[in-house]
Structures are given as structure tokens and as C-alpha cells.
A and B are shown apart, each in its own frame.
Chain A
Amino acid sequence: MATVEAYPESPAPVPAKATGWRRLKSRLWKDRYLILLGLPGVAYFLVYKYAPMFGLYLAFIDFNPFQGIFGSPWVGMQHFARIFEDREIILVLWNTLVISFLQIVFAFPVPIIMALMLNELRSELYKRIVQSIVYLPHFLSWVVVVGICVIFLRSEGLINVFLRETFGWEPIPFLTNPAYFKPLIVLQVIWKESGWGTIIFLAALAGVNPHLYEAAVVDGAGRFRRMWHITLPAIRSTIVILLILRLGHVLDSGFEHIFLMLNPFNMDTQNVLDTFVYFKGIQQSDYSFATAVGLFKGVVGLVLVAAANYTAKKFGEEGVY
């Protein structure tokens, strides 16, 4: 998949014996238009991506708006110690990990299966129609997806009306009973992202040599055998890479999505790391502690992604970064 980078070498009129400073100056002068052109973008990264990193200082002090950042007392690792003692955070961490785990077990394989099924279709037209439909939910906002889900599942919603009129059941509290929270989250992810997820597998399958299938037919292999021995091996490396990367993002549980599904009935028990940071930091103004929790998540995420990338390379796959 890699391409060789072939740079158009621009003329570099740098005098061979120039001193370092003069060389730098002539290089800067030569690139002056490019530097000006790149300035807004670089400024963006410095202001909105790197300046906040200095704000991580908040995690080590007991920030008090009246004393200001530099007047607030230094507390060192105290907030981080609290992360491992606070029962609420243990619950939040648990929720985050369980939701990720459920997604890896139940949502991750769905696009693979769908891609295998789409790959077996003989009619190109039918394949294209199905693809156009299953890609669509990816572009809907989470508000719309959660909204539609709420409309179907609330006590006077279609599902509960159906259950009442067919079986005479009492309304099932899908949205308010915390027991339904995690399964619903996973189902929504499956509904919204599975179709989109097939793209990368279908792309990998497009490269399979059709002669392989023909040879297998001659050898008497049925549809399942061909799938198992030809199609699956063709996407194996893609699956491994995506799985490893998914493991690297185990602490990201889809913030907007979960935030939208939270309500006063499940708020106490179903928070995840991201939503916890929002409620603590923005709503309760406990900036320091929320920053510490965010930093904890960021560092663990960085280590996990780096480890995931390293592992992917060990598997003989090209890393992503």
C-alpha cells in the first residue's frame, strides 16, 4: 500500500561553504513565500493544540480561579493518586473498558462479515444498492441516531406499543434502566458504523486475483471453503491492524454518543471517562481534577497506541504512524 515519495526537488542555490547562520538565512529567504503560506496552519496547531498542553500544569496544582494559575498551590501528584482511590472513577473506568470490550467483541466483526457477504454477490448493481444504503447512517449525526432510537424505544414508542398490543406487556424501560445502557450503545454503533466499516475490507478484497477462485472451483472447493481459504486470508492483515489499533483506543468510547444517551436515570452509573471529565470540569468547575483525569486518559492512550503500532509492525504489517 505504500507509495514511494518522489519529491519534486526545487532548485537549492545554497552556497557550499556558507556558514550555518548564512545558510539558514538564505534558506529562509528562498522559502519566504512558503513560510508565509504555512503560517496560519502552524499558528493553528500551536494555539489550539500545543498551548493547551501547557494547560496540563493545572493537573498538578489545586487551581482556584481567585488565586489564578500561578497563585494556586502546587499539589504534585495528588490528583492522580485520587484517580485510583475515588470509587466513582473506578466505576467510570470500568464502564469505559466494558463498553470498549463489548464493541470489540460485537461491533468489530460486523463489517468483516458484511464485507464477506457483499463480496459474494454476483450482481454488481445489487451490491452497489446495498452499499449506498448501508453507508448512509455513518453521515447522520449522533443526535439524529440517538433521537430515532429514543423515538422507537420510549415507553409510548413503537416497540413498547407493539409489545403491549401483541403480548400485553408493560412498557420496558429501555432508556431509563441502566441495564440496557451498554447493549444499546453497542447496537447503535453497529447500526451507524458497520456499513462504513466495510469499505476498507472491500478495498482489500478488490485486489484478490480472480484466478485463485477459479482454481479453487476446479479443485472442488465450495463457497464456504473459498471464503475461508481465499477471501479471509486476503483481509487478514487488514483485520489484524484494525483490531490492534482499536485496542489502542480502548479508552475512547465515543463521547458525543454516550453523552447523548445519558439521562438523569443512568447518569450515576453509566458515565465514561470523557463524560466524567466534562461533568467534573465544565459543570462543576473542578478544573484541576478533571484535567488530571484527562491527562491520565491521554497518556494511557498514547502508550496504548504506540504499543499497538509497535505490535502491528511486529506482525510484519506496516505501522500506521
Chain B
Amino acid sequence: MMWERTISSRIFDAINIALLALTALVMLLPFVYVIAVSFSSYTEFMRSEFMLIPKKWVLDAYEFIFVSDSFVRSLIVTVEITVLGTFVNLAFTATLAYVLSRPVIGQRIVLFLVLFTMLFSAGMIPTYLVVKATGLLNSIWAVILPVAIAPFNLIVMRQFFTTIPGELHEAAYIDGANDWQTFWKIVLPLSKPALAAFGLFYAVGHWNNYFSAILYLNDPAQWPIQVILRQIVVVNEAQTTLANGQILLEHAPPAETIQMAAIIVATAPILVVYPFLQKHFAKGVMLGSIKG
């Protein structure tokens, strides 16, 4: 592209670059501060200055949360929910998306049923009662099965399947494959990158989920990390939530560093998958904007 080099244009650029740098800092600095405090020592924290790099790196807060039964248990529960849930999501979404991408009987009706749920839902209470009636209350399946398919993802995945050339289906048919075999042996292997992308998005959703856990799970032993994190940070009950009895309480690091460490641990998996997410999401958003 051609750019002119006038003074006003350069000033414009300088201001633009500076403002965007400021925006990026506003997004980033709170997070850097949280990381810094989570690794800082008691004395350094008590000076309560804004810090971005602790002078001395200590792991007290992390040690404290990782010996806490309730914290470690919630991490394990969350990993369980995320792995199982993502598997269920992909299985349910991919199969129905594939079926709806084929000229199957009843295709229009089912598509309408799916689209209608994007416009209208019965609401929290009736859904809660159905979850209760199907016996899922207080089981981790309650935060998995009722969200087995995100209609939006289903539509996008269906759109993706329709881009697989029809010749492949025909060739498989002529070779004597039925739809089931075509799906397993041809369509799924071709869709691995797409499945990975949808899987990542579903997994992030499960990891970050807070609300359906407090709605459907009453037993603290089943609480996922986000519920524990709220107790620790928002309700400000770090030590009591995490303490394994009296011994631990006496040697507890300050609540603040514990809170920040908990935030970091709960966010670390997201940061790990973020580069992969970034690779996929621009594409995903674009696919979604194409009429399903």
C-alpha cells in the first residue's frame, strides 16, 4: 500500500501506536501484577506497592494452595469435567453435524429444531427441573450432558462438513461403505484439525464454567476450580477455604498472595492453549459469519 510521509500523517501514526500500546498494557498489566504478587514474599507484599517483578521469588503461596485438599480436589474435578465434557461435546456435535450435512430424511425439521433453540429457551427453572428429573443433580454429568451441544458450534461444524467434496461420499458408497463407515473412516480423519479447534473451545468453556456448577452441584467435594476460586478471591475467604485444619492456618502466607496464586493456577491451562486457540479462532469466527 502506498503511504505518504507528511508530518501530520507521522504524528497520527505516533499517537495511534501509543494509544494501542496503552490499550495492550491495560489488558496485560493487571495480569502481570497478579503474577508478580503471587510469587512475592510476605515482607515485600506488605510494602503494598505496585510491582511487576518481585525482587525475591518465593513459592509460599503456591505451596499453600497445593497442600490444600479442597484446592487440589477441585483441580482434579475440573480436569475430569473438562476431559469428559469435551469428549461428550465432540461426539454429540460431530455426529449430528455430519448427519445434518447429508441429505437425510427429516433434515429440515431437525435443523429448525436446532435453530429455534438459539432463539428461545425455556429458561433456568424448567431446565433445572429436567436435569433433576433425569437424575443428574449432584453428579458431574449435570455440568456435561445439559450442554452437550452448543447449537452455534453444531451449525458451524455442519457447514464445515458440507465443504467435504461429494465425490468422496460417492466413492465410499461405490466401494460398499455405509454412512457409518464413511463417517468414521473418511469424514472424521479429514476433520481432525476442525475437531481439535472445536474441542479447544469446548474445553475452555468447561474449564471456565462457574454457574452450572453452583446450580447443579451442592456437594463442596464436587466443586470445580472456578467455584473454589470465587470463595478464595471474591468472597475473600482464602485461608478458611483452603485450610487443612489448624496447623496450616498458622503458617499461612497472606491472603492476597494466596488469592493471586489461585488465580494464576486457574488460568494457566488457558494460557497454555491460548496460542493454539489463536491459530483457530479467527477462522472459526469467519466460518460462523457464513450463513449456516
Which residue numbers of A lie inside 8 Å of B, CB to CB? 1-3, 5-12, 24, 27-28, 31, 33-38, 40-42, 44-45, 47-56, 58, 114, 117-118, 120-122, 126, 129-130, 132-137, 139-144, 146-148, 150-152, 154, 156, 158, 161-162, 191, 195, 199-200, 203, 210, 213-214, 217, 222-224, 255-256, 259-260, 274, 277-278, 281-282, 287, 290-291, 294-295, 297-299, 301-302, 305-306, 318, 320-321
Question: Closest B-chain residue to A162, C-beta based?
Answer: B50
Interface residues of B, dominant DSSP? helix
Which residues of B116-154 are within 8 A (CB) of A?
Answer: 117-131, 134, 145-146, 148-149, 154
User: Which 6 pairs show the lowest CB-CB distances between chains A and B?
Assistant: A8-B166, A41-B96, A294-B123, A55-B126, A141-B208, A38-B99
Residues of A within 8 A of B208 (CB): 139-143
Does B66 touch A at the CB level, under 8 Å?
no
Cβ–Cβ contact A42 & B110, under 8 A: yes
> In whole angstroms, how far apart are the Cα atoms of A162 and B12 in the complex?
33
Query: Which single member of B21, B122, B285, B289 contacts A294 (CB below 8 Å)?
Result: B122
Does B267 touch A at the CB level, under 8 Å?
yes
> In whole angstroms, how far apart are the Cα atoms of A136 and B281 in the complex?
12
> In whole angstroms, how far apart are the Cα atoms of A45 and B290 in the complex?
23
* A152 and B229 contact, Cβ closer than 8 Å, known pairs A130-B20, A287-B129: no
Cβ–Cβ contact A33 & B259, under 8 A: no
Question: Closest B-chain residue to A53, C-beta based?
Answer: B122
Cβ–Cβ contact B285 & A203, under 8 A: yes
Query: Which single member of B33, B96, B127 contacts A40 (CB below 8 Å)?
Result: B96
> In whole angstroms, how far apart are the Cα atoms of A38 and B113 in the complex?
13
* A38 and B104 contact, Cβ closer than 8 Å, known pairs A55-B126, A150-B234, A203-B286: yes
Query: Which single member of B17, B121, B211 contacts A255 (CB below 8 Å)?
Result: B211
Cβ–Cβ contact B2 & A42, under 8 A: no
Residues of B within 8 A of A134 (CB): 23-24, 27
Cβ–Cβ contact A321 & B256, under 8 A: no
Q: Nearest chain B CB to A164's CB is how many angstroms away?
A: 10
Does B26 touch A at the CB level, under 8 Å?
yes
* A141 and B3 contact, Cβ closer than 8 Å, known pairs A126-B17, A147-B230: no
Residues of A within 8 A of B291 (CB): 1-3, 318, 320
B88-127 interface code vs A (CB 8 A; 1 in, 0 out)? 0001110111111011110000100111011111111111
Does B87 touch A at the CB level, under 8 Å?
no
Cβ–Cβ contact A28 & B162, under 8 A: no
Query: Which single member of A142, A199, A222 contacts B210 (CB below 8 Å)?
Result: A142
Given contacts A38-B99, A287-B125, A306-B119, could you give 15 more A-B pairs where the C-beta distance is less than 8 Å? A10-B102, A38-B104, A40-B91, A41-B95, A44-B145, A48-B145, A52-B122, A52-B129, A143-B266, A147-B259, A255-B211, A277-B124, A281-B125, A282-B128, A305-B119
Question: Closest A-chain residue to B15, C-beta based?
Answer: A117
Cβ–Cβ contact B266 & A199, under 8 A: no
Cβ–Cβ contact B119 & A256, under 8 A: no
> In whole angstroms, how far apart are the Cα atoms of A1 and B289 in the complex?
7
Cβ–Cβ contact A2 & B290, under 8 A: yes
Cβ–Cβ contact B121 & A1, under 8 A: no
Residues of A within 8 A of B73 (CB): none
Cβ–Cβ contact A37 & B183, under 8 A: yes
Query: Which single member of B126, B166, B226, B282 contacts A58 (CB below 8 Å)?
Result: B126
Query: Which single member of B12, B114, B123 contacts A277 (CB below 8 Å)?
Result: B123
**Most chain B C-beta atoms within 10 Å of own C-beta, residue among A58, A120, A132, A151:** A151
Cβ–Cβ contact B125 & A49, under 8 A: no
Residues of B within 8 A of A27 (CB): 105
Cβ–Cβ contact A140 & B267, under 8 A: yes
> In whole angstroms, how far apart are the Cα atoms of A277 and B100 in the complex?
35
Which residues of B2-37 are within 8 A (CB) of A?
Answer: 2-4, 6, 8-9, 12-13, 16-17, 19-21, 23-24, 26-28, 30-31, 33-34
Cβ–Cβ contact B93 & A41, under 8 A: yes
